[in-house]
């Protein structure tokens, strides 16, 4: 249970209704997450007037930083930044938001088949057959992924066959050992909030390719989990919203988007905006909940029915100190028991307080999402105790965020195509519909699903609009 | 392109806004398709006051009957009724809506591998290896389906494994001949508007079981396509709406459902209703587009992201007479070329005019949904000519309905779970959320996806509400 959030600063109109007013701007942006704010900022920089409407009373979308005292924060949403995530890195530099290395010193833990073991480096000691199996599976996936252009996965050689099977089917056929299968399943729960059966193999390959490979996706050092933001990842959105000032309206859930001749009219609970173009920076499933006049074309609507958001709960236990560090542990762990199947040390840069982060994803998130918070907390902390010992039993504070329960997110960390989805509807993912342009990390071709992808999607949508204005 | 629709009778308030009014009733029903109207009627019969809100300016949901002169109609949506569909049959009897046999006299056609052949009975002459292959595939599917209880598919023996694979994966493993694979794919395009890769194998088994088997599902005589309604299937909804009178409000798209203490408040463009209970009788993907206060639980929302509606366009060519009958043809045909991959004689009971109905489903519906109507018409009619000869080239009229483009349907004939969907979210399909109950053919355990399932779901939801009032 979370209490209080890092709010948008005072210069942002937080939910103040502008009754009766019809605002005018060149562009209206729907959604003030990283994608929407990046688009709004880029459009503004290009000389266009812009208004961004956000349903929540805060900006940041799937980034959300929770204060833990002394000006420090923990990230309840997207947290990390890694090499080659150049657009979010450039944004952070511009905004003056520093990063620091994820703590990785010490041995990691793996709980598999009822036993907890320590290991060093990125590969657990699982015996030669398992290591060979993991190695060949990675090699096959990477080789398949090379066929896939992230801009048009449906055009890959053999795309229909790759899209026709679930990732689970591929695993069952290509991975022989139980342990290697478990590792892939565990990874998927955190990377996508999905079980392997929920996803198109083609989507997995698209995602690998967009990230630059499995190592880039899964590694801490040298990979997507390498660094964090000192002031939390939501700071990026908060800084952009500060710069945009009253051009960002929060507490303004968009109800309708009406295209009329040479303009688009966007109605929200708080304000109505008439503009020449709109950028909708929401996950497709949420974008479909807006009422469009004229109605969206069938293929675009059906896309939104075929790209569900993952099921992911971030669970954070805050201790006086990171007690696992003196014990020679990094805080990283994998577990086939869970419910948190992957953990990280998510302490602030100075290591105080000690923060253990557990990802509860896929089936565990769905099962635990139906029980009381006390029961969920107990299950998560019990898991931490099995991994990190009895000192994990009594955190000073426990914070969690079930992204599927968030009304304006409805899942996390990203949306993934079901089998057949790319073939059926992929072409509609970025295609503008009249004066409506689509942003959001799901539309990115580089680091789709990540903050970097969100930033890139905002830049791409802004460029489309600038060219069209 | 369709012009004009069979409208609801004058006693129904068609889109008349009741500004400022807050209506009160025991129950509010959202959606005046077969499910919603059946629920409203059953509730009314049980002594509850009820108001049904419908987004369209007509009732009937995915049933829609188009006049073709002389009081005759063709069905652009659900059309048939067959043995064991007892609840819709009972409703039709009560409402005095007669049925008649689908025309099947004559030989059928099959276009496969570039060749058009005639055949008699239900099984095309495709050579012994293909017939054996089709037979063993049917036998395996039926055997697997026996494990699945339609009320709880996720609890079947081996359910996780059945749900983890697409129907395409099962076909690739279990069906050896090209022709048999094509036949299954063609059937799926019409039965679900889906390609085999879009669907969970578990969902296919659920659906077979809910229908009572493959023969029940696929056959004309003795199966789901056996009979039609003389005045069209929409007549059922029109008669029910007549009986309910001004309790049915059309032109009233529901925007919000708010649960407050012991009541539920439903806001639409035309009227606001306060009631003790609500029945939402929409496909899950559409139900999610309403704004709920409090927000729906995560699992229920994620369900709505994992059960896409199919892609289906019904294409109807109307000729002066059914010229195929004197040529010894039934009007039924299968084609692996398409775009209409299955055809039927859909002429009125007296055989005048002659009506050829073609189903364009799955990938063909998506591809053709993106081209101009003239191009689509040409492609469909070209296919009719290949099958039925040159007299098919010049229909007096061509009517079509792309259900994915219908704003308040967004696909058809039904919604199907993607792989993993039943396991992830199946338990949320019928579970009431506070004072909100769920109806719609997708929630049925008998004849799910059919008009009979819609009627059953309305009866079940009404019974839930009566027990709770």
Q: What is the ipTM of this complex?
A: 0.92
What is the average pLDDT across A93-110? Answer: 97
* CB contact A301 to B (< 8 Å): yes
Q: Would you call B445 an interface residue with chain A, using a CB distance cutoff of 8 Å?
A: no
CA A71 to CA A411: how far, in whole Å? 28
How far B366 CA lies from chain A's nearest CA (Å)? Answer: 6
Cβ contact B197–A420 (<8 Å) = yes
pLDDT at A20: 56
Residue A258 sits at the chain B interface (C-beta within 8 Å): no
Contact B195 A420 (CB under 8 A): yes
B13-62+233-307+418-468, CATH topology level: FAD/NAD(P)-binding domain (3.50.50)
Q: Is the pTM of this model over 0.90?
A: yes
Cβ contacts (< 8 Å) between B301 and chain A: which residues? 404, 410-411
Which residue of B288, B309, B419 is in closest CB contact with A197? B419
- With CA atoms as reference, the chain A residue closest to B289 would be A289
Chain A / chain B CB contacts < 8 angstroms: 170
CB contact under 8 A, B421 and A285: no
Class of the CATH-defined domain A13-62+233-308+416-468: alpha beta
Of 3.40.50.300, 3.90.1170.50, 1.10.405.10, 3.30.930.10, the CATH number of B128-218 is 1.10.405.10
What is the helix (H) or strand (E) element at residue B278, kind and residue range? strand B277-280
Residue B14 pLDDT greater than 80, yes or no: no
Other CB atoms within 10 A of residue A41 CB? 26
Cβ distance of B420 and A164 shorter than 8 Å: no
Spatial separation of the C-alpha atoms in residues A385 and A175, rounded to whole Å? 31
B65 phi and psi, to 5 degrees? Answer: -110, 130
Please report, for residues A3, A362, A408, A431, B308, the alpha-carbon distance to residue B298 in angstroms, rounded to integers and kept in the order given: 19, 12, 11, 29, 17
Whether the CB of A49 is below 8 Å from some CB of chain B: the reply is no
Cβ contact, residue pair B407, A295, below 8 Å = yes
* A425 contact residues in B (CB cutoff 8 A): 366
CA–CA min distance B320, chain A (Å): 32
C-alpha torsion angle, residues B239, B240, B245, B250 (rounded to 10): -100
Identify which of A295, A297, A404 has the shortest CB distance to residue B301. A404
Backbone CA torsion sign across A338, A342, A348, A352: positive
At B219-261, the pLDDT tens digits run 999 999 999 999 999 999 999 999 999 999 999 999 999 999 9
pLDDT in tens, B44-93: 999 999 999 999 999 999 999 999 999 999 999 999 999 999 999 999 99
* In the predicted structure, residue A456 carries a pLDDT above the cut 70: yes
Can you state the angle between helices B128-145 and B201-211, rounded to 10 degrees? 80
Q: Which of A160, A185, A302, A309 would best serve as a mutation to test chain B binding (most B beta carbons within 10 A)?
A: A302
Nearest-by-Cβ selection for A298 from B196, B301, B369:
B369
- Residue B2: predicted pLDDT: 30
Chain A nearest CA to B424, separation (Å) = 7
Return the residue in A199, A373, A424 with the most chain B beta carbons within 10 A, the one to mutate for interface testing.
Answer: A424
Longest dimension (CA), chain B: 70
Q: Among B308, B369, B405, whose Cβ lies nearest the Cβ of A306?
A: B308
Per residue in B279-334, pLDDT (tens digit) is 999 999 999 999 999 999 999 999 999 999 999 999 999 999 999 999 999 999 99
Q: Do B424 and A164 touch (CB under 8 A)?
A: no
Region(s) of chain A under CATH 1.10.405.10? 126-218
> Looking at chain B, which residue has its C-alpha nearest residue A403?
B298
Query: Given CB atoms, is B169 within the 8 Å cutoff of chain A?
Result: yes
pLDDT band at A114, cuts 50/70/90?
confident
What the block records as the tokens of A327 is: 């014990």
Residue A388 CB: number of other CB atoms within 10 A? 23
pLDDT band at B124 (very low <50, low <70, confident <90, very high): confident
pLDDT score, position B11: 34
- Look at residues A268, A211, A233 and name the one whose alpha carbon lies nearest to residue A448: A211
Q: Is it the case that residue A324 has pLDDT exceeding 50?
A: yes
Beta strands in B39-135 (DSSP E): 50-53, 65-69, 72-75, 80-81, 99-101, 107-112, 115-119
Pick from A242, A250, A163: which is nearest to A206 by CA? Answer: A163
Q: Which H/E stretch holds residue B451?
A: helix B451-468
Q: What is the pLDDT of residue B20?
A: 56
Chain A contact for B215 (CB, 8 A cutoff):
no
pLDDT in tens, B423-437: 999 999 999 999 999
**pLDDT for residue B274:** 97
Residue A193 · residue A362 · CB < 8 Å: yes
Closest CA to A282 of A410, A138, A433: A410
Interface contact B198, partner A, CB < 8 A: yes
The predicted model gives A264-293 an average pLDDT of: 97
Helices B234-244 and B34-45: crossing angle, nearest 10°? 30
Q: What is the 3-state secondary structure (H, E, C) of chain A?
A: CCCCCCCCCCCCEECCCCCCCEEEEEEEEECCCHHHHHHHHHHHHCCCCEEEECCCCCCCCCCCEEEEECCEEEECCCCEECCCCHHHHHHHHHHCCCEEECCCCCEEEEEECCEEEEECCCCCCCCHHHHHHHHHHHHHHHHHHCCCCCCCHHHCCCHHHHHCCEHHHHHHHHCCCHHHHHHHHHHHHHHCCCCHHHCEHHHHHHHHHHHCCHHHHHCCCCCCCCEEECCCCHHHHHHHHHHHHHHEEECCCEEEEEEECCEEEEEECCCEEEEEEEEECCCHHHHCCCEEECCCCHHHHHHHCCCCECCEEEEEEEECCCCCCCCCEEEEEEECCCCCCEEEECCCCCCCCEEEEEEEECHHHHHHCCCCHHHHHHHHHHHHHHHHCHHHHCCCEEEEEECCCCCCCCCCCCECCCCCHHHHHHHHCCCCECCEEECCHHHCCCCCCCHHHHHHHHHHHHHHHHHHC
List Cβ<8 Å contacts ≥24 apart for A109-113: A109/A329, A109/A332, A109/A333, A109/A334, A109/A387, A109/A388, A110/A333, A110/A334, A110/A335, A111/A333, A111/A334, A111/A335, A111/A336, A111/A337, A111/A386, A111/A387, A112/A179, A112/A182, A112/A334, A112/A335, A112/A336, A113/A178, A113/A179, A113/A336
Identify the band that residue A98 occupies on the pLDDT scale cut at 50, 70 and 90.
very high
Tokens of A213: 């490979």
The tens digit of pLDDT for each residue in B23-51 reads 999 999 999 999 999 999 999 999 999 99
Identify which of B198, B301, B423 has the shortest CB distance to residue A410.
B301
Contact status of A416 with chain B (Cβ, < 8 Å) = no
Query: With 50 as the cut, is the pLDDT of residue A136 above it?
Result: yes
Q: Which residues of B touch A407 (CB under 8 A)?
A: 295
B435 class by beta-carbon count within 10 Å (0-12 exposed, 13-18 middle, 19+ buried): buried
- Give the whole-number percent of chain B exceeding pLDDT 90: 92
Q: How many CB atoms lie within 10 A of CB A20?
A: 7
pLDDT of A9 strictly over 70: no
- Interchain contact B203–A (C-beta under 8 A): no
B410 touches chain A (CB under 8 A): yes
Residues of chain B with CATH 3.50.50.60: 13-62+233-307+418-468
Q: Is the pLDDT of residue A122 over 90?
A: no
Q: Say whether residue A285 is in contact with chain B using an 8 A CB cutoff.
A: yes
B interface test, pick of A197, A268, A428 with most B CB neighbours within 10 Å: A197
| Residue A168: closest C-alpha in chain B | B164
Helix (H, G, I), strand (E, B) or coil at B264: strand
B260 at A interface, C-beta within 8 A? no
Q: Yes or no: say if A282 and A34 are a contact pair by the CB < 8 Å rule.
A: no
Best CA proximity match to A407, nearest among B308, B292, B287, B268: B292
Interface with B, mutate which of A181, A284, A418, A423 (most B CBs under 10 A)? A418
Distance CA A235, CA A60 (A): 8
A14-31 tens-digit pLDDT: 333 444 579 999 999 999
Domain(s) labelled CATH 3.90.660.10 in chain A stretch across 99-122+220-229+311-402
Mean predicted lDDT score pLDDT of chain B: 94
- Quote the tokens at residue A290: 């807006």
Give yes or no for B269 touching A (CB within 8 A): no
Please indicate whether, in this complex, the C-beta atoms of A419 and B424 are within 8 angstroms of each other: no
pLDDT at A113: 84
Which neighbouring-strand residues pair with B50? B27
Searching chain A, which residue's CA lies closest to the CA of residue B55?
A: A291
* Interchain pair A164, B166: CB under 8 A: yes
Residue intervals of chain A classified under CATH 3.50.50.60 are 13-62+233-308+416-468
Q: What pLDDT shows up at residue A447?
A: 98
Yes or no, beta carbons of A425 and B366 under 8 Å apart: yes
CATH class of A99-122+220-229+311-402: alpha beta
Check B298 against A404: CB less than 8 A apart. yes
| Residue B369 sits at the chain A interface (C-beta within 8 Å) | yes
Residue contact B164–A196, C-beta within 8 A: yes
Q: Which distant-in-sequence residues (6+ apart) come within 8 Å of B442 by Cβ?
A: B283, B284, B307, B414, B415, B429, B448, B449, B453, B457
Residue of chain A minimizing CA distance to B285: A305
Phi-psi region of A386 (alpha: psi -120 to 50; beta: other; left: phi over 0): alpha
Residues of chain B in contact with residue A306, where contact means CB-CB under 8 angstroms, are 198, 308, 418
Q: Which chain A residue lies closest to B311 (C-alpha atoms)?
A: A302
Model pLDDT for residues B355-386, shown as the tens digit of each residue: 999 999 999 999 998 899 999 999 999 999 99
CATH 1.10.405.10 assigned to domain A126-218? The reply is yes
Give the residue from A242, A296, A272 showing the smallest Cα distance to A53. A272
Q: Which helix (H) or strand (E) holds B343?
A: strand B342-345
With beta carbons under 8 A apart, name residues in chain B contacting A303.
none
**Cβ <8 Å between B308 and A297:** no
Q: What are B283's two structure tokens?
A: 């496909």
pLDDT band at B114 (very low <50, low <70, confident <90, very high): confident
List, by residue range, all CATH 1.10.405.10 domains of chain B: 128-218
Q: Chain A residue closest to B411 (CA)?
A: A302
A262 at B interface, C-beta within 8 A: no
């Amino acid at each position: 249970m979370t209490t209080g959030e890092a709010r948008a600063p005072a210069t942002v109109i937080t939910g103040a209704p502008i009754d009766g007013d019809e605002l005018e701007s060149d562009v209206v942006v729907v959604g003030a997450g990283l994608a929407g704010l990046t688009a709004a900022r880029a459009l503004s920089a290009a000389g266009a007037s812009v208004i961004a409407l956000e349903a929540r009373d805060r900006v940041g979308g799937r980034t959300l930083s929770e204060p833990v005292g002394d000006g420090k924060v923990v990230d309840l949403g997207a947290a990390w930044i890694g090499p080659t995530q150049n657009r979010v890195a450039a944004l952070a530099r511009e905004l003056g938001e520093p990063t620091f290395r994820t703590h990785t010193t010490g041995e990691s833990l793996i709980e598999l088949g009822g036993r907890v073991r320590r290991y060093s480096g990125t590969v657990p000691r699982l015996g030669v057959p398992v290591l060979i199996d993991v190695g060949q599976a990675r090699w096959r996936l990477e080789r398949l992924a090379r066929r896939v252009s992230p801009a048009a996965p449906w055009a890959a050689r053999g795309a229909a066959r790759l899209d026709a099977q679930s990732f689970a089917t591929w695993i069952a056929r290509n991975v022989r050992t139980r342990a290697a299968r478990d590792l892939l399943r565990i990874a998927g729960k955190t990377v996508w909030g999905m079980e392997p059966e929920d996803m198109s193999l083609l989507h997995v390959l698209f995602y690998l390719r967009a990230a630059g490979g499995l190592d880039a996706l899964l590694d801490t050092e040298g990979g997507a989990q390498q660094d964090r933001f000192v002031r939390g990842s939501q700071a990026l959105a908060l800084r952009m919203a500060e710069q945009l000032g009253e051009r960002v309206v929060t507490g303004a859930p968009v109800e309708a988007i009406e295209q009329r001749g040479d303009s688009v009219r966007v109605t929200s609970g708080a304000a109505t905006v008439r503009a020449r173009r709109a950028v909708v920076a929401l996950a497709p499933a949420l974008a479909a909940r807006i009422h469009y006049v004229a109605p969206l074309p069938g293929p675009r609507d059906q896309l939104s029915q075929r790209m569900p958001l993952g099921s992911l709960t971030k669970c954070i236990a805050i201790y006086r100190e990171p007690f696992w560090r003196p014990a020679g542990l990094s805080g990283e762990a994998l577990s086939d028991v869970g419910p948190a199947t992957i953990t990280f040390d998510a302490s602030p840069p100075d290591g105080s307080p000690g923060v253990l982060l557990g990802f509860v994803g896929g089936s565990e998130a769905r099962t635990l999402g139906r029980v009381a918070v006390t029961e969920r907390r107990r299950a998560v902390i019990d898991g931490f105790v099995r991994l990190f010992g009895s000192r994990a039993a009594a955190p000073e504070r426990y914070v969690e965020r079930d992204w599927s329960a968030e009304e304006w997110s409805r899942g996390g960390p990203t949306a993934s195509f079901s089998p057949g989805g790319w073939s059926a509807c992929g072409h509609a993912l970025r295609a503008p519909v009249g004066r409506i342009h689509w942003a959001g990390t799901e539309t990115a071709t580089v680091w789709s699903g990540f903050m970097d992808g969100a930033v890139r999607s905002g830049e791409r949508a802004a460029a489309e609009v600038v060219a069209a204005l």
